[in-house]
């Protein structure tokens, strides 16, 4: 059923871009001014011979969400968060193969949903969009940028809209040009976002700050520097959501399964991750049957990269602060450059993280 909500004015203050990105853009701007000055005031003598600098590629730095090399277009654009369904009827979901970060969270009935983020790659379309939950403002706020979802209870809508993130909600006028219901899946598993179109329309928003720290190379990742070998990470949320990540040395990634079966993307390939982050989290049950993952605080977990795993401590000081990962000795955790999935596994009966 289409969730129609009253139109409300939006207020948000995007998170500022990192100093690193500002420096790169400033350098490029200064270079352009200098080149223009030379063209206007150069002498009438013979043109100088081309130099090697004339063919140098555009400056690059690490993308804030993946640590991968990125050009200025990527570095300057906002992140796009979306609430994505994980019901059987919602699979295979569109666009998850191009997400920089995916958080998996417990919802009602022992099921899970995703909060996914795109910034370095923007798919033409993604979905299906589902409704917001009480923990989502704490997950999404540190990124700024945009969030898209299908609706939700009024209390959760109010919480999400009271964040430094621009909201696009199915059924509201500002979202109508960017969302539609597909015919390949039944409602409510068929709200699709025209992601590429939305990002092009919102270029005035700031880029996200770095969330997790990345090593410059995969070999520098903390799990490879100080971890132990791991074949499979099992992340069990409930009897009906038993997820796992198996290391594939040939591909150099972890491959995802749900309930013991490969979890395919729309092209039939099994979903994969360079980094798998499994965190144990408390659950707040104040919302009458809607579990809230508690993220303001601290806890323990594991980070897996390159076929190795390392125990970690996680912490988050406030809604707009990123999750910080450290070793047991208090050193910052470095991920390998690439995508990451974050399993927010609840500290409840029947849920566990198990390593093989």
Is there a contact between 269 and 299 (Cβ–Cβ < 8 Å)?
no
> For position 57, what pLDDT does the model report?
58
Range of the domain at 136: 75-201
Residue-wise pLDDT tens digits, 143-201: 999 999 999 999 999 999 999 999 999 999 999 999 999 999 999 999 999 999 999 99
How far from 345 is each of 103, 140, 353, CA to CA, in Å?
10, 18, 7
Question: Which CATH number belongs to the domain containing residue 154 in this structure?
Answer: 3.50.90.10
In this structure, what are the phi and psi dihedrals at residue 151, rounded to the nearest 5 degrees? 150, -145
Question: Mean pLDDT across the stretch 286-296?
Answer: 97
The β-bridge partners of 148 are 82, 168
Asked whether residue 175 is domain-assigned, the answer is: yes
DSSP structure class, residue 163: S
Instruction: Determine the 3-state secondary structure of 356 from DSSP.
Output: coil
Q: How many domains are contained in the chain?
A: 2
What's the predicted TM-score (pTM) here? 0.85
Say how far apart CA 303 and CA 301 lie, in whole Å. Answer: 7
CA nearest neighbour of 211 among 126, 314, 95: 314
Q: Is residue 324 part of a domain?
A: yes
Please report the pLDDT score of residue 8 as a whole number. Answer: 38
Are both 248 and 307 inside the same structural domain? yes
**178 lies in the same domain as 265:** no
Q: What contacts 87, CB < 8 A, 6 or more positions away?
A: 111, 189
Residue 14 vs residue 115, higher pLDDT: 115
What pLDDT score was predicted for residue 113?
A: 98
Plot region of 65 (φ>0 → left; ψ -120 to 50 → alpha; else → beta) = alpha
Compute the CA torsion angle 34, 35, 37, 39 (nearest 10 deg). 170
Give the model's confidence band at 55: pLDDT under 50 very low, under 70 low, under 90 confident, else very high: low
Mean per-residue pLDDT, 294-318: 98
Between residues 111 and 8, the one the model is more confident about? 111
Instruction: Determine what percent of the chain is predicted with pLDDT higher than 90.
Output: 83
pLDDT (tens digit, 9 = 90+) per residue, 98-130?
Answer: 999 999 999 999 999 999 999 999 999 999 999
Predicted local distance difference test score (pLDDT) of residue 58:
56
Rounded CA-CA distance 103/328 in Å is: 23
For residue 156, what pLDDT is reported?
A: 98
Among the candidates 201, 235, 268, a domain finishes at 201
Q: Are residues 163 and 228 in the same domain?
A: no
Length of the chain, in residues: 356
Residues 228, 173 share a domain = no
328 assigned to some structural domain: yes
Residue 206 falls within a domain, yes or no?
no
DSSP assignment of 4-46, as one string?
A: ----------PPPPPHHHHHHHHHHHHHHHHHHHHHHH--SSP
Residue 346, H or E segment? strand 340-346
Chain centroid to CA 97: 11
Domain end: 170, 201, 232, which one? 201
One domain for residues 128 and 229: no
Asked if residue 272 and residue 192 are part of one domain, the reply reads: no
**Shared-domain flag, residues 304 and 350:** yes
Query: What does 274-343 look like in DSSP terms, one character per residue?
Result: SEEEEEEE-EEEEETTEEEE--SEEEEEEEEETTEEEEEEEEE-STTSPPEEE-TTSPBP-BPSS-EEEE
Looking at the fold, whether 189 and 225 belong to one and the same domain comes out as: no
Statement to judge: residues 225 and 351 lie in one domain? yes
3-state secondary structure labels for all residues of 48-113: CCCCHHHHCCCCCEECCCCCCEECHHHHHCCCEEEEECCCHHHCCCECHHHCCEEEEEECHHHCEE
């Amino acid at each position: 059923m289409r969730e129609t909500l009253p139109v409300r004015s939006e207020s948000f203050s995007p998170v500022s871009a990192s100093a690193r990105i500002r420096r790169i853009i400033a350098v490029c701007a200064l270079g352009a001014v200098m080149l223009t000055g030379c063209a206007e005031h150069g002498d009438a003598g013979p043109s100088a011979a081309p130099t090697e600098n004339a063919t140098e590629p555009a400056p690059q730095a690490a993308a804030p969400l993946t640590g991968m090399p990125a050009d200025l277009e990527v570095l300057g654009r906002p992140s796009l968060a979306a609430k994505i369904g994980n019901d059987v009827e919602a699979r295979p979901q569109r666009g998850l193969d191009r997400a920089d970060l995916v958080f998996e969270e417990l919802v009602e009935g022992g099921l899970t949903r995703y909060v996914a983020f795109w910034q370095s790659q923007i798919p033409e379309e993604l979905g299906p969009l589902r409704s917001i939950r009480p923990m989502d403002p704490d997950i999404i706020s540190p990124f700024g940028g945009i969030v898209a979802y299908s609706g939700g209870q009024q209390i959760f809508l109010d919480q999400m809209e009271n964040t430094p993130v621009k909201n696009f909600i199915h059924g509201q006028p500002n979202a109508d040009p960017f969302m539609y219901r597909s015919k390949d899946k039944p409602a409510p598993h068929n709200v699709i976002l025209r992601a590429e179109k939305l990002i092009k329309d919102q270029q005035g928003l700031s880029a996200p700050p770095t969330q997790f720290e990345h090593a410059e190379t995969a070999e520098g990742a903390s799990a490879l520097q100080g971890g132990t070998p791991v074949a499979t990470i099992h992340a069990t949320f409930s009897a009906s959501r038993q997820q796992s990540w198996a290391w594939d040395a040939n591909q150099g990634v972890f491959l995802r399964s749900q309930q013991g079966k490969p979890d395919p993307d729309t092209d039939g390939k099994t979903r994969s991750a360079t980094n798998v982050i499994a965190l144990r989290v408390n659950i707040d049950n104040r919302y009458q049957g809607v579990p809230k993952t508690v993220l303001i605080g601290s806890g323990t977990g594991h980070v897996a990269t390159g076929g190795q795993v390392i125990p970690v401590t996680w912490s988050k000081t406030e809604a707009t602060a990123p999750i910080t990962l450290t070793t047991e000795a208090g050193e910052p955790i470095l991920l390998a450059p690439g995508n990451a999935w974050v399993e927010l596994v609840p500290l409840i009966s029947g849920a566990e993280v198990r390593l093989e």
